[in-house]
């Protein structure tokens, strides 16, 4: 079967700066990819190409084995790519159910907002997927009081509910407390269990190693290495990263 996503020799420059110098990588269904690399390695540029925000200068993008000539943001979304940004995961002043359905409201057959159904669906998602056990949280609770990890969890559950195929998390654990990080990693686990894919970008190698099936190590716009986490220990990974940082390659 074809990969969910395949990038072939992607190049992207901004003026004199070559952000990506020929990146080839794949993402399969049910796979969590950890994307590692120093500041300026090209991680965010790569993500923006996958989400259709930037167009590569060269290279090919394939979804389900089909080449997409001109990937735009709406097209990427249609193909199931969702990005969860920590800082704007949710609208604080709004209720939980509004946050879930914002921009994709359920309607009655008369075209009116179906609030009872959105509340009921939110209640179900809370119980089955969000792990809100406290009775203090209801579909009408404003998300203001949720912790950072909970908010991102809600955003991940929302993405899954709306049939996301690939969820991208760019630095999701930044500023989270340890227990919150644990929760977030559990949400990532849920995505994998649902047979969907994740690209997980984080400065914290420990988190990436814990959650990823495969690690892609970027260095100055190139893939410097690719490893299955089952094939190497955390220490071996750290060692490889040090070598790449020092010499630019693993040779």
Ligand X SMILES: Nc1ncnc2c1ncn2[C@@H]1O[C@H](COP(=O)(O)OP(=O)(O)O)[C@@H](O)[C@H]1O
| Interface stretch with ligand X, choices 40-48, 89-97, 138-146, 223-231 (CB under 6 A) | 40-48
Is 246 exposed, middle or buried, given 0-12, 13-18 or 19+ CB atoms closer than 10 A? exposed
The Cα 170–Cα 84 span in angstroms is 7
Q: Is-contact 23 8, C-beta < 8 A?
A: no
Residue 200 Cβ vs ligand X, minimum distance, rounded to whole Å: 13
Contact with ligand X (CB under 6 A) among 2, 9, 14, 78: 14
204: contact with Mg ion by CB under 5 A: no
Residue 103 Cβ vs ligand X, minimum distance, rounded to whole Å: 26
Question: Measuring CA to CA, how many Å separate 166 from each of 3, 8, 78, 141, 142?
Answer: 12, 18, 11, 28, 27
134: helix, strand or coil: coil
Q: Which does 197 bind (CB under 5 to 8 A by kind): Mg ion, ligand X, none?
A: none
Q: How far apart are the first and last CA of the chain?
A: 32
Of 19 and 122, which has the nearer Cβ to ligand X?
19
| Interface stretch with ligand X, choices 35-43, 145-153, 181-189, 203-211 (CB under 6 A) | 35-43
43: contact with ligand X by CB under 6 A: yes
45: contact with ligand X by CB under 6 A: yes
Per-residue contact flags (x/-) with Mg ion for residues 27 to 56, judged by CB under 5 A: ----------------xx------------
3-state helix, strand, coil in the chain (%, to 5): 35, 25, 35
Of 12 and 43, which has the nearer Cβ to Mg ion?
43
Residue 55 Cβ vs ligand X, minimum distance, rounded to whole Å: 12
42: contact with ligand X by CB under 6 A: yes
86: contact with ligand X by CB under 6 A: no
| Interface stretch with ligand X, choices 38-46, 75-83, 85-93, 94-102 (CB under 6 A) | 38-46
Residue 225 Cβ vs ligand X, minimum distance, rounded to whole Å: 15
Contact with ligand X (CB under 6 A) among 8, 24, 28, 40: 40
Radius of gyration for the chain, computed over Cα atoms and rounded to the nearest angstrom: 19
44: contact with ligand X by CB under 6 A: yes
Positions that interact with ligand X (CB under 6 A) = 14, 17, 19, 37, 39-45
Give residues in contact with Mg ion (CB under 5 A): 43-44
């Amino acid at each position: 079967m074809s990969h969910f996503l395949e990038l072939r020799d992607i190049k992207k420059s901004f003026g004199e700066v070559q952000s990506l110098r020929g990146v080839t990588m794949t993402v399969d269904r049910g796979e969590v990819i950890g994307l590692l690399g120093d500041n300026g390695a090209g991680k965010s540029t790569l993500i923006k190409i996958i989400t259709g925000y930037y167009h590569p200068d060269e290279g090919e993008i394939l979804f389900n084995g089909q080449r997409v000539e001109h990937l735009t943001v709406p097209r990427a979304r249609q193909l199931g790519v969702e990005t969860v940004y920590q800082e704007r995961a949710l609208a604080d002043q709004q209720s939980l159910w509004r946050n879930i359905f914002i921009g994709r409201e359920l309607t009655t057959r008369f075209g009116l907002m179906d609030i009872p159904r959105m509340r009921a669906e939110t209640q179900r998602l809370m119980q089955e997927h969000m792990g809100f056990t406290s009775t203090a949280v209801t579909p009408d609770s404003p998300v203001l009081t949720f912790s950072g990890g909970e908010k991102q969890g809600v955003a991940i559950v929302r993405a899954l509910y709306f049939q996301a195929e690939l969820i991208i998390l760019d630095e999701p654990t930044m500023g989270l407390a340890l227990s919150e990080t644990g929760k977030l990693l559990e949400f990532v686990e849920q995505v994998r269990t649902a047979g969907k894919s994740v690209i997980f970008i984080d400065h914290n190698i420990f988190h990436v190693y814990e959650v990823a099936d495969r690690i892609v190590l970027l260095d100055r716009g190139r893939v410097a290495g690719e490893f299955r986490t089952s094939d190497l220990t955390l220490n071996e990974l750290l060692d490889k990263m040090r070598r790449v940082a020092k010499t630019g390659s693993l040779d």
